[in-house]
Structure 1
Amino acid sequence: MTDAPQLYLMTPAGAQASALGPLLTEVMDRFPPACLRIRAGAEEDELGRLADLAREIAHARDVAVVIDDHIKLAQRHGLDGVHLTDGARSVRYARKELGDDAIVGAFCGSSRHEGMTAGENGADYVSFGPVGDSALYRGEPAALELFQWWSEMIEVPVVAEGAITRELINSLSPLSDFIAIGPEIWGEEDPLDALGLLWN
């Protein structure tokens, strides 16, 4: 565990590929992420276009691409894996379908037990959140104590996500391998500036 987590970038939910391309390129050139996650919310055809665009931009920069839940889309569009939003439930299935080399991540809310089960089932990383107050997530916020415990006891890398602020990044940096940022910047007038204020 280092003191400097890596950036885990999420696309806007329901994004249109044509509108996102130039902006995504600029953001990734300025702030190189370790992983790019395509968030669901668009129709399948649009998600497919987004997957192709994201793969092209990300792979040119040696960045892995995962997509929310869509195992078949990940296979069809040559993505690196999936981010499962239902905790540990689908981890074994995703691993069987995608193979050992794929990335399988699991969002586990604020549940230590769910996170441990996901890890035992073969998840490459576990994501907890929201870490701040957010109406976008079900359930209670994930407390700093959860990340503290996880970083001391569990080998599986951990991602912090949801309502990220500069203060939370400072608190989470020693305890997290990755910080996921997406909704925090895409709604702003200048996403690049917004990310700079959070991440620099």
Structure 2
Amino acid sequence: MNAKSPPNRCRIVLISPAGETADSFSAKLSAAIAGGDIASVILPANGMDEATYQAFAERIVPIAQAAGIAAIIAEDTRIAGRVKADGIHIDGGKAALAEAVASFQAKMAVGAGGAKTRDDALELGEERPDYLFFGRFGYDNRPEAHQRNLSLGSWWAEMIEIPVIVMAGSDLASVETVAATGADFVALSSAVFGEGIDARAAVQRANAILDETAPSFEPAK
């Protein structure tokens, strides 16, 4: 499904959590992939040094790409190039985003995060990233999605054409709330990869919730 017929509604973006090795996360990601549609996976460094992060990405990126899932490296443009990632995620503000867009957008997607206000978001949007992300990696530790992210995501989805990703909470039920904002993508991390969670079953359930509750997108004109 990932490569051939993506659903015409909010889709799942996975984020690798802190504390994972290449071995542990490759197994969890493979299980998640078996659960159904996933649009992309974002791989933050999560405190890894450069060599460890590159080795991690070298292991994970091909797994995602083989399933038709876009693999996105956070911040490190050199590693993104070395592992032939599909995209780079920039949290470092407008200047860093502008540099990444100018240098890399012809070769890979360039997404942006770090906006905490509408003004922040509009400034980043001026650089025309491929998506804007509302949320913070590793902060999905409550069952529900953060209200500020929901509010920003709803405003952005209504006003701006650039696709938006909104971070969900640690409870899979929160994907319904995110989808109701009109967001293009819902980001999941602890709800899928948390301790004791069956990643395959979690993705399967998240897709079932989205199939049942997410609004359908209007066809592009």
State the shift of 1:7 in Å: 0.4
**Counterpart residue identity of residue 39, structure 2:** A
Q: Residue in 1 aligned with 2:32?
A: 27
Q: 2:191 — aligned with what? A: 184
Asked if structure 2 preserves the Cα contact closer than 8 Å seen for 1:88 and 1:115, the reply is: no
Alpha-carbon offset, residue 195 of structure 1: 4.1
Instruction: Give, in angstroms, the shift of residue 100 of structure 1.
Output: 1.9
Structure 1 letter corresponding to 2:21? Q
Q: Distance in 2 between matches of 1:107 and 1:173?
A: 19
Structure 1 unaligned residues grouped into runs of 5+: none
Paired residues in the alignment total 194
Inter-CA distance 99–143: structure 2 relative to 1 (3 Å threshold): closer
Please report the RMSD computed on the Cα atoms of aligned residues, expressed in angstroms: 2.5
* Aligned residue in 1 for 2:154: 148
- Which stretch has the larger CA shift, 168-177 or 72-81? 168-177
TM-score scaled by length of structure 2? 0.77
CA distance in 2, matches of 1:24, 1:158: 23
Structure ranking higher on relative contact order (CA contacts 8 Å, 6+ apart): 2
Q: What is aligned with 2:216?
A: none
After superposition, give the CA deviation of every residue in 1:12-66 in whole Å (9 maximum; x if it has no partner). Answer: 2242112222221121121331111112122222211221122211111121111
**Unpaired runs of 5+ in structure 2?**
1-6, 209-221
Q: Residue 170 of structure 1: CA displacement?
A: 1.6
Given the two structures, how large is their TM-score scaled by the length of structure 1? 0.84
Identity %: 25
One-letter amino acid of the structure 1 residue matched with residue 69 of structure 2: V
Instruction: Report the counterpart of residue 114 of structure 1 in structure 2.
Output: 120
Correspondence 1:97-108 to 2 at 5 A: 97-108=103-114
